[in-house]
Amino acid sequence: MGKVEQTSQEIGPANEVRETRCGYVAIIGRPNVGKSTLLNHLLEQKISITSRKPQTTRHRIHGITSHENDQIIYVDTPGLNLAHGKALNRAMNETVYSVIKDVDLVLFIVERFVWNEADQRVLEAITQSDVRVLLVMNKIDLVKQKRQLLPHIDKMRKLKRFAEIIPVSALNGHNLLVLERVVCDFLPRGPFLFPVDQVTDRSSRFLASELIREKVTRQLGDEVPYEVTVEIEKFEQQKQILHIHGLILVDRRGQKNIIVGSNGDRLKQIGIAARSDLEMSFNMKVMLNLWVKVKTGWSDDLRALKSLGYLDR
């Protein structure tokens, strides 16, 4: 991934020359502020998993949207974590810092009237780069009196010279067309980097593992701590059926017992929910088999993180 600096012209009908724009746009913010929800709604397709649990997103994920003359390559990032902690947390923070240095535009996502230490930490990280920043105030659907936003917007303007400040509701789609038009205005001139029908650079195996992990996170919440990941051991289409074998890795045996549940009931429910999303995403019947395995210390093991794809590519 890198900044786009080329100039491009495409020849259209009757030798009409049209200028194209293309660039990388990072979606940055503290954990659980709505970054992945925003990406999914901008793409009108789910490629980044969501839950109420902070730092559900752990990877750098590219979401691509193409218009007639503009291609936006959105980069969804993990929430910047104040506590470095284990190697997994450090790896996610490093992903955020590297993305900020290597994009054409940053969407800094904040939550309506909220401004806390975590938001300040993100602002400081962004300020280390000279990249242009749009401040996106999310969840404004929860603001009953919209005029209450004006004093807060004025307050935000004093923090940094943002290119624009745009209130949105990622969940309800409010003002997202305005946001996208503004983003396009800031794209550098250059050729499209991906086919116009491509939505992400991530593999189908990766998307499958993330959808399964989302169901584990949503169904268990705080019952199972952070040390859960999913590895796809088999991803194979046979005739019109996609066969997926997923291995859910946990840190301790007690976590395995919680995920499996009494007589395997909890794991069965996770599988049912995951299969439904997988069939919708891949548009075919899915046969899903899930297992749970204890792999102690995986989230603090650099070798394990590399094999599981958590270290930045």
Please say whether the beta carbons of 245 and 232 come within 8 A. yes
Question: Which domain range does residue 27 map to?
Answer: 9-186
Domain-embedded: residue 299: yes
Convert 207-227 to b/e letters by CB count within 10 Å (16 or more is b). Answer: bbbbbbbbbbbbbbeeebebb
Domain-embedded: residue 280: yes
Domain-embedded: residue 193: no
169 and 258 part of one domain: no
86 and 162 part of one domain: yes
C-alpha atoms less than 13 angstroms from C-alpha of 206 in its C-beta half-sphere:
17
pLDDT on residue 135: 95
Task: Please state, in angstroms and as integers, the Cα–Cα distance from residue 43 to each residue in 64, 80, 205, 295, following that order.
Answer: 7, 23, 20, 35
Beta strands per DSSP E along the chain: 9-11, 17-19, 21-29, 61-66, 70-76, 105-111, 132-138, 164-167, 228-238, 241-250, 285-294
Cα 272 to Cα 282: distance, rounded to the nearest angstrom: 16
163 and 211 part of one domain: no
Please say whether the beta carbons of 44 and 32 come within 8 A. no
pLDDT on residue 192: 94
Domain-embedded: residue 199: no
Strand duo 132-138 + 164-167: pairing = parallel
Q: 95: domain CATH number?
A: 3.40.50.300
Looking at the DSSP bridge assignments, the partners of residue 9 are 19
The structural domain count of the chain equals 2
* Average confidence (pLDDT) per 10 residues, the chain, 313 residues: 50 61 91 86 78 54 89 82 63 75 91 88 87 92 80 87 92 92 95 91 86 86 69 92 93 88 92 93 94 82 65 52
Please say whether the beta carbons of 102 and 96 come within 8 A. no
Question: What's the DSSP call for residue 145?
Answer: S
Is this prediction's pTM over 0.85?
Answer: no
76 and 176 part of one domain: yes
Please say whether the beta carbons of 219 and 273 come within 8 A. yes
pLDDT on residue 147: 79
101 and 62 part of one domain: yes
